[in-house]
Structure 1
Amino acid sequence: MKQRGFTFIELMITLAIMATLATVAVPMAQVALQRAKEHELRTSLIEIREAIDAYKRASDNGRIKLSLGGSGYPKKLEELVEGVPDQRSASKQNMYFLRRLPRDPFQAKENGNAADSWSRRAYASPPDDPSEGEDVFDVASRSTRVGLNGVPLNQW
C-alpha cells in the first residue's frame, strides 16, 4: 500500500479549519473564565456579608463591647478573622466570624492583603453614595468591569 502525503491545498484547508475553531474557542474560554471569577466574587460577597451580619447580631445581643455611639458593625474587616472577646464568656474567649477573609477575585494578588482588595461602605454613608468611615457595614468589588449580566461588578 502506498502512503499518500498531504497536498498543499489539503494542508491549507486543514489550517483554515483549525484557525476557525480557534477563533470560536478563545472567546468561549474567556467567557468561561469570566463566569468562574464572577461566581467566586458572588460567593465571597455572600460569605463576608453573612459574617458582618453575624457580628452585628452578636453586638446587638451584648456579646461584643460597643464604644459610645458605635453602630455595632466591625471597625475593620480583619476583626471578622482576628476575633473579638465575647463579653458574656467568663474567660472572654474570642468569637470568630470567618476562618479567612476572601479577596476580590478581580483584584491582582500583588495589591496588598485581602481586606484592601474590597471597597467598604460605612453604616453612616448614604446608600446612593457609599463611602468608607468608622465601621464596615458592607463590601463591594473595586473592579470597574461589567459582569456578564450587564451590571457593574462594584454594584453587586
Structure 2
Amino acid sequence: MMLYLRHQSHRYQGFTLVELLVALALLALLVSAATPMVQINAKRQKEQELRRMLWQMRDAVDAYKQAADDGLIKKNQNDNGYPPTLRALANGVENSQDPAKKKLVFLRRIPRDPFAENPEISNEETWLVRAYDGTQGELATDVYDISSRSTQLGINQQPYNTW
C-alpha cells in the first residue's frame, strides 16, 4: 500500500490588515457624510418645538386678553388687558364674573425655550417678554409678545429672538 500525501495549501480565514483598513476608511467616510445631516435634523426638530411653544404661549396671551376684554378678568382702568407676567398664564387668575368657579388657567405650565443655554434659570426666564408699550425684558410690565432670548441663527438665517 502506498501512502499518498497530498499537498494541501492551508488558506487562512479572516481579513487581512489592508481589507480592515479599507473597511474602516469607508465607514469613516460614511459617518463623516452623515454627521451634518444628523445635526441639521436635530436643529430642525428644536426649531419646530420652538415654533410650537411660541404659538401656544402667544395663543394663551390672546386668550387672556380676550377674557379681560369680555370682563372675565378684573382689570384696573389703566390696564390694557394683557397678562402681567407669564406666570399669571400658568397660575391662573380669578374669574371675576363667578368667583366660586375655579381659576381661569391659560397654560398648564410655562415651557422652556429649547435654545436656552443656561440650565440654571427658570423656564419663565428663558423667554424674552415684550410689553404692549414696546419695552422688553425685565422692564416689561405686561406680556404682549414672547420670543426666544437666543441670538443663534436658525436654518433660515434669522435669529431665534426675532421669531
TM-score (norm 1): 0.91
Aligned with 2:43: secondary structure?
helix
Task: State the 1:22 CA deviation.
Answer: 1.1
Larger Rg: 2
Name the Cα RMSD after superposition: 1.6
**Which residues of structure 1 form unaligned runs of 5+?**
none
2:151 corresponds to: 144
Contact 1:104/1:141 (8 A) holds in 2: yes
Which of 23, 28, 34 is 1:25 aligned to? 34
Identical pairs, percent: 42
The CA deviation string for residues 75-122 of structure 1, in whole angstroms up to 9 with x for no partner, is: 000001100001111525310101111110011462321111100000
Task: State the 1:3 CA deviation.
Answer: 4.7
Task: State the 1:68 CA deviation.
Answer: 2.7
> 5 Å matches for 1:85-104?
85-91=94-100, 93-104=102-113
CA distance in structure 2 between the partners assigned to 1:98 and 1:3 by the alignment: 69
Task: State the 1:67 CA deviation.
Answer: 1.9
> 5 Å matches for 1:73-152?
73-91=82-100, 93-108=102-117, 110-125=119-134, 131-132=136-137, 133-152=140-159
Worse-matched range after superposition: 46-55 or 1-10 = 1-10
The CA deviation string for residues 109-151 of structure 1, in whole angstroms up to 9 with x for no partner, is: 62321111100000001xxxx5231101010001111111221
CA distance in structure 2 between the partners assigned to 1:42 and 1:138 by the alignment: 14
Aligned with 1:110: secondary structure?
coil
Contact 1:111/1:117 (8 A) holds in 2: no
2:49 corresponds to: 40
CA distance in structure 2 between the partners assigned to 1:111 and 1:47 by the alignment: 23
**Which residues of structure 2 form unaligned runs of 5+?**
1-9
Number of matched pairs: 152
TM-score (norm 2): 0.87
CA distance in structure 1 between the partners assigned to 2:101 and 2:32 by the alignment: 61
Task: State the 1:2 CA deviation.
Answer: 4.9
Worse-matched range after superposition: 81-90 or 4-13 = 4-13
Worse-matched range after superposition: 60-69 or 73-82 = 60-69
